[in-house]
Amino acid sequence: MKERMFFDVGVGKSEIKESYDVVIVGGGPAGLTAAIYTRQSGLSALVVEKNLEGGYMNLTELVENYPGFTSIRGEELGSKMVEHALHFGAELVTDNVEKIQVEGKDKFVHLSSGKTVRARVVIVATGSTPRKLGVPGEEQFRARGVSYCATCDGHFFKDGHVIVVGGGNSAFDESLFLAKMVRKITVVHILEKPTADARLREKVFANEKIEYRPLTELVRIEGDEKVEKVVLKDLKENKEYTMDVDGVFIFVGMNPNSELLKDLADLDEWGYIITDENMETKTPGIFAVGDVRSKGLRQIITAAADGAIAASIAARKYFET
C-alpha cells in the first residue's frame, strides 16, 4: 500500500477567531465544498472536523465514480478537496463541536477545546456512520477485507467469494451490485425472512451467484493479514461452522451523526436531518448537508452538491443587503 498522502491542515486552536460568517461542522466532501462556495461568496468560513479532513473518503481505497477522475484514492481526493478549500482561504481546525446554541440571529458553536465561536450561519455536515456488528475481527480487518460499501470496494474481490451480512434493502441491493464482479455471494441474515422489498427479493433469489442463508449469524471474522474465513452460527440448529471467504460486507444500517441538531431540526424516523430543498432546517440559518441529511442517495457527488447549495443559498439569504 502506498504511503498515506493525507496531512494535518488544521489551524492551531489559538488561531481560531471569535467570530466567522459561516461555521461548517464536518470536513468531508459536503463540508469542504460548502467552505469553497462560502469563500467564493466573500464570506469567512471555519471548518471544524473532529477526525481527519476528507471524512469517510479516507476509508475508501479507490473512488471511480467522481467526475473528472477515472480512478483516484479516497484519501487523495480528500486531500485535493482540502487543498481547494485552503486555496480559497477557508480555515480548518481539528476539534469537536459539543453544542450549537442559538441566540437571535447569532449561533454559538461550543468546541471541546473550550472555545466558543459565533457565526451567522452554521452548516452541519457530520455525515453518518455504518452500524457495526461488534463481532471479533470486525475492527481488526476493516479495510482489509471488511467493508461497508460495495460500490467503493466491490471490485477488489473480483472472482472471489464474499459474505454479505443483512437482509434489508441495502444488503440485497449491494449484493446485486457485487454479483456483477464476484464469483459467489453468501447472504446471511439472523431472521427467517428478509426485510428487503419484494422486487429486490425476487432479483436476489433469481441470481445464481447469490445464496441466502436465513437464521444465520456472523459470529467471528478470522485471518492473518486479511480476511480469510468467518465463523457462522446456524440459529435453528444452534451450531457453529467455518466458511472460507475473501471478504465481508456488512449492511445492517447506518447511524446518522445528527445528535447536534436534535433540538434545532426535525429528524426523520431513522434520525436523519430533514431540510428543505435549499438544505435549510427548521431553524433559520442552520443548514444540514451530506450523509446526515434525509435524502435518497448518499454519495460523494451528492454530498458536494448539498454543500454547494447550502453555502450559495446562505450567502444570498443572510448576507446580501
Q: Per residue in 90-126, pLDDT tens?
A: 999 999 999 999 999 999 999 999 999 999 999 999 9
Show the domains of the chain with their CATH numbers: 13-129+254-318 (3.50.50.60), 132-250 (3.50.50.60)
* pLDDT of res. 59: 64
Which candidate, 200, 222, 238, places its Cα nearest to that of 230? 222
pLDDT band, very low/low/confident/very high, at 13 (cuts 50, 70, 90): very low
Distance CA 57, CA 155 (A): 17
The pLDDT value recorded for residue 60 is 65
- What was the pLDDT predicted at 6? 33
Q: What is the mean pLDDT of residues 205-226?
A: 97
Q: Which amino acid belongs to residue 54?
A: G
The DSSP bridge partners found for residue 240 are 233
Question: What integer pLDDT is reported at residue 274 of this predicted model?
Answer: 98
Least confident range from 2-16, 55-69, 219-233: namely 2-16
**26 and 127 Cβ atoms separated by less than 8 Å:** yes
* DSSP 3-state of 174: helix
Beta partners for residue 247, in sequence order: 162
Lookup: cell for 223: 485471518
Identify the pLDDT of residue 321. Answer: 58
pLDDT digits 0-9 by tens, 284-321:
999 999 999 999 888 899 999 999 999 999 999 999 75
The residue-averaged pLDDT of 240-253 equals 96
Alpha-carbon distance values, 61 to 4, 228, 277 (Å)? 11, 19, 32
At residue 238, does pLDDT exceed 50? yes
- What is the b/e burial string over 269-299, where b = at least 16 CB atoms within 10 angstroms of the residue's CB? eebbbbbeeebbbebebbbbbbbbbbbeebb
* pLDDT on residue 7: 35
Average pLDDT over residues 257-281: 96
Which is it for strands 247-250 and 161-165: parallel, antiparallel or unpaired?
Answer: parallel
pLDDT at 4: 30
Mean pLDDT of 78-88: 94
Percent of the chain topping pLDDT 70: 94
Half-sphere exposure of 222 (CA within 13 A, CB side): 10
For position 61, what pLDDT does the model report? 61
Determine the 3-state secondary structure of 173 from DSSP. helix
Could you give the angle at the alpha carbon of 135 between the alpha carbons of 2 and 193, nearest 5°? 115
Q: Rounded to 5 degrees, what are φ and ψ at 306?
A: -60, -45
For the chain, state the CA radius of gyration.
21
pLDDT in tens, 147-162: 988 877 888 999 999 9
The band of 57, judged by pLDDT with boundaries at 50, 70 and 90, is confident
Q: Do strands 239-244 and 227-234 pair parallel, antiparallel, or not at all (unpaired)?
A: antiparallel
CB-facing half-sphere around the CA of 247: CA atoms within 13 A: 29
Question: Which carries the bigger pLDDT value, residue 1 or residue 87?
Answer: 87
Mean pLDDT of the chain, nearest integer: 91
Residue located via cell numbers 459467489? 184
